Every structure is written in C-alpha cells, then in structure tokens.
A and B are shown apart, each in its own frame.
Chain A
Amino acid sequence: MKKIAVRNLRLCTKDCICLYVCPTGATDTEDSIIDPDKCIGCKACVEACPSKAISLVPLTYPDPQKKDIEVLVMNQKLSSFKANDEKIARDLADVTDDDSLYRLFKAIERSSRLMNEDIMRESGYMLPQSIGVRKFLEDLVAKAPEDFPHDAARRLLEKGLDNN
C-alpha cells in the first residue's frame, strides 16, 4: 500500500532535518505542506524528525468497520436530538439581548454540532473516501433543488473523494 508523509504543523519545530534527508525535495515547500506529488513514502523524514511531527498515511484507505443496525438506529435517535438542540440554541442566540446568554447559546449550538459530528462519524460517515459516503452524496445530489451548490458536489464526486 503506497503511503505518503504528512507534517503536523503544531508539532513542527522547524529543525529542517527533513529537508536534508528527503531524496526528492518533497518536504521543502513554501506552505509547509509536504508535496504529495513528490513524496515517495521512503520514511526518511519520519525517522529523522526530532519533534516527531511527520507521519506516513496511506493513499488508499481500508473499508470502515461495519455498524450494527440496532446501534445505527440508536445513534440516529441521538443525532436527531442534537440537531434539534443546535437549532434551538441558534434561534435563542439570535433573539437574546443578553451578552452572557448569547455566548452560552452559541457555545451550545457549537457543542451540539460537534457531538453530532462525532455521532455521524460512528454512524457510517467516518471516511470521506468510503463507498457509503459516495452513495450518500449521490443521493443528496439526485434529490437536490436548483439552489443546491451543485458545483461543489460535482467536484467531490468526480475527483475529490477518490480512494486511489
């Protein structure tokens, strides 16, 4: 399985040893993102980095774990509550005059979304490149009205989500 190096900018301490050891120059870029077209996955930078800021990721991801239908039903129930909480909190934030309450409602709106994202991650929507996600997007596009951002969806389905 072909792998390429990715750099975690939060950990990178700019010791630049990766520049010395890279045989293709992939690690030396103006935006600090290791060039995926140049990287050959040799692991030299991963081993040399003193801050452990570089790791190898596969270009092709394995199928996500199968989920039991009964768990999915539960997760969906929970998800519908979180979506509703998010909506109520957003509406309450819109109408309140009180600054403390505004910040609390905004926090609950954000928190509900974060928890719902996590629920979705455990409900078959974990890996963007998975077949299930592709079907989900195709289904949304098929039902979508005209004002739907069709260009963005088309770019994702044509190339953006390839698992190569």
Chain B
Amino acid sequence: MRYTCSICGYIYDEDIEGIPFDELPADYRCPLCTAPKDLFDKQETSVIEHQELFDDHQMHELSNGEIAAALSNLARGLEKQNKIKEAEDMMTLADYFTSSVKSGDASLKMLAESIDNEIAAIYPSVKDKASEMGDRGTQRIAVWGSKVTSIIKVLLDDCLHNNGSLLKGKKVFVCSVCGFIYVGDEAPKICPVCKVPDWKFEEVKGR
C-alpha cells in the first residue's frame, strides 16, 4: 500500500520502507514538508461529502480587509511590471484599508474554528464550483490554499493541545508566493506547495 502526503505529494511506499504505515509512530512527519501523519492519504481515497454552505448567492460589498488584499495584490502586480512608484502608491492605498480594519475579540480558539470551517466546507465548495465551471485559475488557488490552510491547522492544534511544541527552538518561514508556513531550521529547497525555490521564503522574525 502507498500513502501520499496531501501537502507536497511525497509517497510513503510500504513495500519500499518495509514498515506498515499504521505502525509508524504517531509523531511521524513527512520528510519533505513536515506534514503530520494524519495528512497522508491512502492511495485509494474516498470522496469526502460536504454540505452546500451557500444559500446566499448575492455578492456583498467588500470589507476593508478584503479591499486591502485586492489592493496589495495589485501593488505586487505593478511591482512585477517594474512600475515601482505606481506599486508604492497602490500599497499606500492598501495600507490605509489594512489599518482601517477594526481590532476586536480575538482568541486562538476563534482562529482555529475559522480555519477548521475553511478546510471542512469552504475549500471543498470552491473546488467543486471552480471545477464545474472549468475555472482552472480558481482551482489553483483552492488546491494551494487548502494545503497551506491545513498546515496552519496543524500548527494551531499544536498550540491548543501541545503548548506549541513544534515551534520551540525552530525558525518560522513563509513562502512569499503561496503563503505556505514552514517551521524548521532553514527554508525548504523548494516550496512543497507551489514549488518555488528557497529564496522566495521569508523568515518571520521575533519582536
């Protein structure tokens, strides 16, 4: 039997490794991307049913946080076109909306619930709709985003139940292209999710 890492595609082949996957220790992690054991899929995977979440098919007005993301994305687009002054102006607009987002109640539990909801319901719905409509660009963000979000869930669950043991003594890196978070000593040679080289990773520094 073969098991595939759902994050980076690494294959654990029982025939080659000699140890049945089920008998690996509970803290076994993907040697490439450090995803935990429960993010591996048996190769004959079954389709997970999910509920249809969206009764409301109206577009709502964008919130300040959403506007900020649209604008900072446009700033990055301008930067890639070498339009540096224009990129700065666009980023000024983005920062205005970022700082207009009101702070409110925030807890680790709220964040974890939001992430769980995305993985269980939102991403599957986006994937289904994009695939139904033949929108491969949206399928891409759903594939990348659900993987990145699954790793965030692993890290948050570790904070909730294990006191953040995974983070102790390790550096934290973010892929500047897809947002993949890597906890380790140095950035991976290629991003397990979007496959860009290591220099596209940024280390997140402490205060």
Quick check: B125 and A74 within 8 Å, CB to CB? yes
- Interface set, chain A 111-126, CB cutoff 8 A to B: 111-123, 125-126
Task: Tell me whether A88 and B137 are in contact in the complex, defined as CB-CB below 8 angstroms, given that A113-B69, A119-B145 are known contacts.
Answer: no
Task: Tell me whether A98 and B65 are in contact in the complex, defined as CB-CB below 8 angstroms, given that A71-B130, A111-B174, A115-B141 are known contacts.
Answer: no
Cβ contacts A60-104/B at 8 Å (1 or 0 each): 000001011111111111111111111111111011001111111
Quick check: B118 and A81 within 8 Å, CB to CB? yes
Partner of A107, one of B78, B118, B172: B172
Does A153 reach chain B (CB closer than 8 Å)? yes
Chain B residues whose CB sits within 8 angstroms of the CB of A122 once the complex forms: 135, 137-138, 140-141
Does B83 reach chain A (CB closer than 8 Å)? yes
Does B16 reach chain A (CB closer than 8 Å)? no
Q: How many residues of B contact A (CB 8 A)?
A: 82
Chain A residues whose CB sits within 8 angstroms of the CB of B67 once the complex forms: 140
Quick check: A118 and B74 within 8 Å, CB to CB? no
Task: Tell me whether A149 and B93 are in contact in the complex, defined as CB-CB below 8 angstroms, given that A88-B114, A160-B83 are known contacts.
Answer: yes
Partner of B114, one of A85, A98, A100: A85
Task: Tell me whether A118 and B178 are in contact in the complex, defined as CB-CB below 8 angstroms, given that A81-B114, A102-B207, A128-B78 are known contacts.
Answer: yes
Most buried by B among A85, A101, A128: A128
- Interface set, chain A 122-164, CB cutoff 8 A to B: 122-123, 125-128, 133, 136-137, 140, 148-149, 152-153, 155-156, 160-161
Does A6 reach chain B (CB closer than 8 Å)? yes
Quick check: B204 and A110 within 8 Å, CB to CB? yes
Q: Give A106 to B179 CA distance when docked, in angstroms.
A: 12
Does A16 reach chain B (CB closer than 8 Å)? no
Task: Tell me whether A128 and B77 are in contact in the complex, defined as CB-CB below 8 angstroms, given that A77-B122, A107-B181, A118-B141 are known contacts.
Answer: yes
Main secondary structure of the interface of A (DSSP, over half): helix
Chain A residues whose CB sits within 8 angstroms of the CB of B145 once the complex forms: 78, 115, 118-119
Does B195 reach chain A (CB closer than 8 Å)? no
Chain B residues whose CB sits within 8 angstroms of the CB of A119 once the complex forms: 69, 141, 145
Q: Give A101 to B68 CA distance when docked, in angstroms.
A: 25
Partner of B104, one of A78, A91, A99, A103: A91
Quick check: A108 and B206 within 8 Å, CB to CB? no
Partner of A79, one of B69, B88, B103, B137: B69
List the one stretch of B22-30, B37-45, B53-61 in contact with chain A. B53-61
Task: Tell me whether A118 and B180 are in contact in the complex, defined as CB-CB below 8 angstroms, given that A108-B152, A136-B70 are known contacts.
Answer: no
Chain B residue nearest to A149 (CB atoms) is B92
Chain B residue nearest to A84 (CB atoms) is B114
Does B13 reach chain A (CB closer than 8 Å)? no
For the complex of A and B, the 8 pairs showing the least CB-CB separation, nearest first, are A83-B65, A91-B106, A114-B179, A116-B69, A111-B179, A117-B73, A152-B89, A100-B167
